[in-house]
């Protein structure tokens, strides 16, 4: 089976970046000395550690190794107009994916095996595209190294804990906002909001056994109902407290954001303005399209 998708020629990160991401990134860059410490001190060390770990304990995907997954990567990169990073598959029971890169170095994405088992091929591509969004928007320059910076600051006597807490609060806010942008990248790559929202639904309460029984329409209704909580001061306070220490926005909020953006003029204009040509993207290995 095949699905027509529009490669987004000349797509720029700021054309789909979420406003909250832009605001939080600007604030993060204003932390004195952060950029220098990340790039010159922590970045090279973290990069080497993660690279060695991947080579030793993960499987590098390529033309001769899990070629179906490799094709999903190449298709997403073509649509988002980005050079392909390395893709690794890692044995792990917790469904997750992450990315790492420093400027001028080889970036890579890691998918956990439990995530692959949970999702359909097109949903896997949505996850890959989400991680590509981090690379496209240069999130990964800060993403992993700044977490290491927080840990390092925490062990410095006297002022260390205070610095760590101040940076961590700002960092977590930035990371949550960056996730909204990368969900948009997933939508641009799959060009189907149901695929992205289905991933979020399965991450919220799915398993290989339960996944076929989940109802996406009911989850979307649940996501829309989440907005009603904000209509009271108490509800808004509870939501803020619930999310303040999370690295990701709650799944229903992410689904609601995609639900809104997919029907916006901004999203439609991106497809029209950057879609110079339409090509046929065929699912590898005869996998079913969602």
- The answer to whether residues 54 and 110 touch, using CB atoms and an 8 Å cutoff, is yes
For the stretch 241-263, pLDDT in tens is 444 444 456 788 899 899 999 99
Cβ proximity of 171 and 162 under 8 Å: no
What are the residue numbers of the active site? 131
| Average pLDDT score over the chain | 78
Q: How far is 257 from 181, CA to CA, in rounded Å?
A: 10
Q: What is the mean pLDDT of residues 64-82?
A: 96
Confidence of residue 153 (pLDDT cuts 50, 70, 90): low
Residues in Cβ contact with 76 at an 8 Å cutoff, skipping those fewer than 6 apart = 125, 128, 129, 132, 189
> Which pLDDT belongs to residue 288?
25
Distance, in Å, from the CA atom of 47 to the CA atom of 56, rounded to the nearest integer, reads: 14
Q: Cα separation of 137 and 275, whole Å?
A: 20
Which of 40, 21, 247 has the alpha carbon at shortest distance from 149? 40
Task: Report how far residue 139's alpha carbon sits from residue 146's, in angstroms, rounded to the nearest whole number.
Answer: 11
Four-residue CA torsion sign, 227, 228, 229, 233: positive
pLDDT of residue 238: 45
Tell me the H-state helices in 6-158: 19-29, 34-37, 43-57, 67-80, 113-118, 121-136, 140-154
Q: Which residues pair with 100 in a beta bridge?
A: 108
* Beta-carbon contacts of residue 118 (< 8 Å; ≥ 6 apart): 95, 202, 206, 207, 208, 211
Are 252 and 224 a contacting pair, CB within 8 Å?
no
The answer to whether the Cα torsion of 78, 83, 89, 94 is positive or negative is: negative
The answer, yes or no, to whether residue 111 has pLDDT greater than 60, is: yes
The pTM of this model reads 0.80
Helical axes 265-274 vs 251-262, angle rounded to 10°: 60
Q: Is the pLDDT of residue 289 over 70?
A: no
Q: How confident is the model at residue 109 (pLDDT cuts 50, 70, 90)?
A: very high
Q: At what angle do helices 193-205 and 216-226 cross, to 10 degrees?
A: 80
Residue 1: band (very low, low, confident or very high) from pLDDT cuts 50, 70, 90: very low
- Sign of the torsion angle spanned by Cα atoms 114, 58, 61, 126: positive
Residue 105 scores a pLDDT above 50: yes
5's tokens = 């998708």
């Amino acid at each position: 089976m095949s699905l027509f998708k529009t490669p987004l020629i000349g797509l720029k990160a700021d054309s789909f970046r979420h406003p909250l991401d832009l605001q939080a990134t600007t604030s993060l860059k204003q932390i004195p000395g952060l950029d220098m410490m990340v790039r010159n001190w922590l970045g090279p060390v973290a990069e080497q550690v993660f690279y060695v770990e991947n080579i030793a304990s993960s499987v590098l995907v390529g033309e001769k190794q899990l070629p179906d997954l490799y094709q999903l990567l190449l298709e997403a990169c073509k649509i988002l107009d980005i050079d392909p990073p390395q893709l690794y598959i890692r044995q792990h029971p917790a469904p997750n994916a992450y990315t790492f890169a420093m400027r001028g170095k080889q970036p890579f994405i890691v998918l956990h095996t439990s995530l692959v088992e949970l999702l359909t091929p097109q949903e896997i591509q949505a996850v890959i595209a989400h991680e590509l969004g981090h690379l496209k928007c240069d999130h990964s320059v800060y993403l992993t190294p700044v977490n290491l910076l927080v840990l390092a600051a925490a062990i410095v006597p006297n002022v260390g804990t205070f610095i760590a807490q101040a940076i961590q609060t700002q960092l977590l806010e930035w990371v949550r906002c960056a996730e909204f942008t990368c969900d948009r990248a997933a939508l641009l790559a799959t060009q189907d909001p149901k695929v992205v929202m289905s991933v979020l639904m399965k991450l919220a309460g799915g398993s290989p056994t339960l996944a076929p029984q989940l109802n996406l329409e009911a989850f979307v209704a649940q996501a829309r109902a989440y907005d009603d909580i904000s209509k009271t001061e108490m509800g808004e306070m509870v939501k803020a407290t619930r999310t303040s220490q999370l690295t990701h926005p709650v799944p229903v909020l992410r689904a609601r954001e995609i639900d809104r953006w997919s029907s916006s003029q901004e999203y439609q204009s991106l497809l029209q303005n950057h879609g110079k040509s339409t090509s046929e993207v065929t699912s590898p290995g005869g996998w079913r399209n969602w």
